[in-house]
Amino acid sequence: MTYKLNKNFVRRYGPWAVVTGASDGIGKESARVLAENGLHVVLCARRESALQTLATELTANHGIQCRVVAEDLATASGNARLMEAIRDLDVGLLVAAAGMGTSGDFLGGDIAQEQQMLMLNCAGVLQQSTLFAHRLVERGSGGIVLVSSMLAFMGTPRAAHYAATKAYVQSLAEGLREELKPLGIDVLASAPGPTASGFADLADLRMPFALSSRVVASRTLAALGKRGTVRPGWLSKLLGWSLATAPRWLRVKIIGGVMRGMTAHQEQRRVGAGGVS
């Protein structure tokens, strides 16, 4: 089913949009929504075969153009090559959906994996935001969407580092929105709750009541230019409202309880493997 954005969307943010993390989840569905509304799309992620499959689908179904850029955006060189690959395009929108997550006990984490997450979720987003902001300001209009998380608003036991990376993204988006708005650039942070995508498997999470990536993508894009932060999904909204007046220490404890439920299988797995007596 096609999701229609408002009539001004294509004029303000087209004709081309760049979507990172487009091989799966929120990025993939964002690309689909944009194509349905007539925008040409640059698809960027590491998995070229998945991007080519999506590009074929979008051009066949919606008659738009696609460009595939297979790069690792956790590296400075990958981000630089992305910008080189789109130099000739009139890009009016960046949807920065590339990201990764980890969960479980901090002391049991893999430092190499945590550092990779830091580079992708923070350094990569910083580089993309900087490069695209300069380009869009020269253009005179455009939009930037940074994918945050409902965990961005408090420390989160059993996802401590992931939540910290998303706090960075949330804060960056909030600050950029005020700086870039007078220059014609709309900036939005999207802070969804549990979302059905490949993310949960990679982060080793069990997420009940997960919202579809399609819903998150469509509600996020519809909010661009209207507010600074959107919380797609009832759980993200519920936690936001219910915890708004709670002291930060209490929010940390409450969200820690939520994460214990999402990671309980990890403890059971360790017990089953003889890791806990």
168 catalytic? Reply is no
Alpha carbon distance 4, 86 (integer Å) = 26
CA 52 → CA 10, 32, 48, 56, 75, distances in Å?
A: 24, 13, 6, 6, 22
Cα dihedral 128, 131, 137, 138, rounded to 10, equals -140
Q: Which helix (H) or strand (E) holds 36?
A: helix 25-36
Candidates 255, 122, 267; CA nearest to 193 is 255
3 catalytic? Reply is no
CB 87 within 8 A of CB 69: no
Q: How many CB atoms lie within 10 A of CB 93?
A: 29
CB 43 within 8 A of CB 69: yes
Options 28, 162, 168, 226, the catalytic residue: 162
Bond preceding residue 157 cis, omega within 30 of 0: no
Options 3, 7, 13, 166, the catalytic residue: 166
Alpha carbon distance 207, 250 (integer Å) = 22
One-letter amino acid for residue 23 of the chain:
S
Q: How many CB atoms lie within 10 A of CB 139?
A: 14
Structure-token pair, residue 49: 């075969």
Active-site positions read 162, 166
